Amino acid sequence: MKKITLSIALMLCAFLASAHAVWIETALKGTKNKSQDVRVYLGEYAENQRDSVSHWFSNLKDVKLYVTAPDGKREEIAIKENGNHLAGNFTPATDGNYTLSISHTVETIYGETKIEYYATATVIVGKETPSQLSASTALAVVPAVEEAKGQGTVGLTVLRDKQPLAAAKIEAISPDGWVKEFKSNDKGEASFAPLQSGQYLLEVSANEKTPGTHNGKSYKTVAHIVTHCINVKK
């Protein structure tokens, strides 16, 4: 009976781990020499669920948040628990695009799967400079624009180690929980038509059947999950 109970518990943990995502929220526009607040969440964006940090599983509270300045300089941002998120801030010193990023390996193996979480966000200060999203995380989702306008479609590109990734699973999630599922083409490209204005979460996942060991535990698959928030104005 104990073995059955443990097995069920492990299956439940695996389900919860795979169903959740980590994402970064911050204002898209920043101001030079003014502190920019940043928040890191774990939960279900489509359900407006943001888990209390005290309930985050495995070692997710140990995530490290970085900011890359327009000149390529990368620094860690100190973050601390604040209810249902980790909070931090940085002060942009120059104009241009700042890239926030997280790359985190979950300590625990779930269902013979190792989980790699990535999250990115862009802050534009003054005049825009080229995006650095493609080089920020091993799996990256790069939107054509950070703030979409009008009734058109929103384009994006999925990259794995800076190379286009085909057949990646993509979800575009609206503020009210509308979810559009689609996949990238052979060039790693895809697009969707948003239904409303607000902040959308782009979530991309890709699995690799690459066996190995992590912290002394074996795994058969690596699950890569990346998120990125964009704004839509209608």
Reference 189, options 166, 160, 163, 161; nearest CA is 166
The 10s digit of each residue's pLDDT in 44-68 is: 999 999 999 999 999 999 999 999 9
β partners of residue 160: 139, 163
- Predicted confidence band of residue 5 (pLDDT cuts 50, 70, 90): very low
Reference 78, options 86, 68, 88, 67; nearest CA is 88
The 10s digit of each residue's pLDDT in 143-153 is: 999 999 867 89
Question: Both tokens of residue 187?
Answer: 């060039």
Q: Are 132 and 146 in contact (CB under 8 A)?
A: no
User: How far apart are alpha carbons 56 and 85 in whole angstroms?
Assistant: 10
The 10s digit of each residue's pLDDT in 107-145 is: 999 999 999 999 999 999 999 999 999 999 999 999 999
CA dihedral 164, 169, 173, 179 (to 10 degrees): 140
Give the chain's count of helices (H) and strands (E): 1, 21
User: How far apart are alpha carbons 38 and 41 in whole angstroms?
Assistant: 10
The 10s digit of each residue's pLDDT in 78-88 is: 999 999 999 99
- Whose tokens are 């890359």? That residue is 68
Percent of the chain with pLDDT over 90: 88
- Ramachandran assignment for 216, one of left (phi > 0), alpha (psi -120 to 50 degrees), beta (any other): left
Question: Both tokens of residue 33?
Answer: 């020499």
pLDDT at 11 over 60: no
Q: Is 88 exposed, middle or buried (0-12, 13-18, 19+ CB in 10 A)?
A: buried
pLDDT at 12 over 60: no
Q: Are 88 and 80 in contact (CB under 8 A)?
A: yes
- Predicted confidence band of residue 19 (pLDDT cuts 50, 70, 90): low
Q: All domains of the chain, ordered by start, with CATH?
A: 2-233 (2.60.40.1930)
- Whose tokens are 């624009």? That residue is 145
pLDDT at 172 over 80: yes
The 10s digit of each residue's pLDDT in 173-230 is: 999 999 999 999 999 999 999 989 999 999 999 999 999 999 999 999 999 999 999 9
One-letter identity of residue 189: E
| Residue 22, CA distances (Å) to 73, 207, 209 in order | 24, 17, 22
- Predicted confidence band of residue 102 (pLDDT cuts 50, 70, 90): very high
